[in-house]
Structure 1
């Protein structure tokens, strides 16, 4: 399968890049970690104004009527800027669940810019960032609104998770696999963005940092470190795009969408983790400090690696499709 982004996709990514930069996504991330949610919520309202939160929502419900391809382009761009909040849930998992449940009013609210989160099965047993989002729960095919318990800290200071108590039942017979696929794929795209940002930070540092009268980026070992990351990211990206095509139904009937999504999640997780490790090797101790932006990307990568299915769970899923 051959797939290249067109000008509309490139323009979508550039628009999000510009908004996230102007709105101070990194500052919003730090503010949320300190307990101030307003900058993050303001950023999400701005994203809604561009139609980003409604990409998977039909026009008639206030959305953009786009598909999974546009969603992964947006999720990757949000990852590049470490945008705080429930990205995969708001962009993908919750719209999928509400669409399957026929909840048009809730879809319209989501498109207007209210972040949403969901606890869904064993792969996502707790809801992320419930303190700034509308909360849902999906268990045994039953979709409900929910109330979140006391939030629990994660390795990412800006991210919390919480157990969810179902409140009002919205629908039955809601397919878990489709919701999991959308959540996992959005997370994979977000990890690609995080990995790309860490590669850029490491490359910039390697050009500026001097040792023995030369930029450390001129040393072959450093070049190889960064090249390994670039290769891993570029190998993972087609898998993410291919999985998006599978969810959009733009592939042959014999293509297993579950396998495509799991392969994308594994590859993107591994690539982002490699970017984090190599970024720390290049930057050294400064990369660990809270003041340096790399630390934001490192901790978010760690948190998202196990979100919407651990790498081990996705590898097992791939294995089962091949037997």
Structure 2
């Protein structure tokens, strides 16, 4: 099995990275945190122009007709830049559900509309239901539109969690596949977050001085950062392998997705802990950009299935 990405994938990732790198995402995130979703929606529109929101949507509905590997490549970059909003729901879950339940709604997603999904019991809340055009809920295999109800906070201020009330029934869909896509997209976000925190922390360690020495010259710091790098490197083939399994409809797809979600979550969480240790307490203050990556990582570790739920799926499959 070949895990290496080809040039089309790396070029696509580089184009998204370049777009987001010029978009001052920390400012966009802070605006979203305060309730001003305008800058974030504009950023999503620019992403839609690159085809990101239509990756898993068929060409006949205005999308690119791409596969799970393309989705993972793109979403990892969104994770790297901590893009706010319902990333997994808009790019992966909603297209999967609507392709079967109500294909007429797909074109709006491809054009940049945002969607969110609640799929109890594993996903009891719809993320950012007040900032999207379409809220869906799944009951068994039945897909319906929904309206936001009570809101709950998250450790990540850019994630508002809404209870929902079922509205119009749309049709039926394979909820298990949609869940796998949601977990896979979340794993890709976590992988991107982990890589970003490693880069941020490595640069900080090269500049920060204590007692006249750059802290990055200390062996203990090097060992911690090396451990983070190894964890992320080991998670990458699991992430790409899971994407291939989903793309090919492999009977092991659910197991592979769960393994990737656990590995990427563990690697990103370790990256966040080491980043905080190296930066010190300032890294967790709202004024420091690192906090935006730290809190999003903590929230996504349990999104679209907790580590315990995914480990259980792996053990049951084995």
Among 295, 308, 312, which residue is 1:299 paired with?
A: 295
Q: In the alignment, is the contact (CA less than 8 A) between 1:130 and 1:151 conserved in 2?
A: no
Q: In the alignment, is the contact (CA less than 8 A) between 1:185 and 1:240 conserved in 2?
A: yes
Give the gaps of 5 or more residues in structure 1.
Answer: none
Query: 1:192-237, CA deviations, whole angstroms, 9 ceiling, x for partnerless residues?
Result: 0000111111101100001232211011000000000000001111
CA RMSD of aligned residues (A): 1.0
- How far off is 1:25 after superposition? 1.8
Equivalent in the alignment of 2:179: 180
Cα distance between partner residues in 2 of 1:73 and 1:47 = 14
Q: In the alignment, is the contact (CA less than 8 A) between 1:57 and 1:65 conserved in 2?
A: yes
Equivalent in the alignment of 1:223: 222
- How far off is 1:2 after superposition? 2.5
1:131-280 to structure 2, matched below 5 A, reads 131-133=130-132, 134-172=134-172, 174-249=173-248, 255-280=251-276
- SS of 1:42 mapped into structure 2: helix
Would you say 1:50 and 2:50 are equivalent positions?
yes
After the TM superposition, list the runs of 4 or more consecutive aligned residues in structure 1 that deviate by more than 4 angstroms. Answer: none
- How far off is 1:150 after superposition? 3.0
- SS of 2:296 mapped into structure 1: helix
Q: In the alignment, is the contact (CA less than 8 A) between 2:156 and 2:296 conserved in 1?
A: yes
- How far off is 1:7 after superposition? 1.0
Would you say 1:88 and 2:88 are equivalent positions?
yes
- How far off is 1:3 after superposition? 1.2
Q: In the alignment, is the contact (CA less than 8 A) between 1:127 and 1:162 conserved in 2?
A: yes
Q: In the alignment, is the contact (CA less than 8 A) between 1:79 and 1:192 conserved in 2?
A: yes
- How far off is 1:15 after superposition? 1.1
Q: Paired residues, what number?
A: 317
The two structures have a TM-score, normalised by structure 1, of 0.96
Would you say 1:126 and 2:122 are equivalent positions?
no
Give the gaps of 5 or more residues in structure 2.
Answer: none
Cα distance between partner residues in 1 of 2:26 and 2:52 = 19
- The range that moved more, 62-71 or 9-18, is 9-18
Cα distance between partner residues in 2 of 1:89 and 1:178 = 13
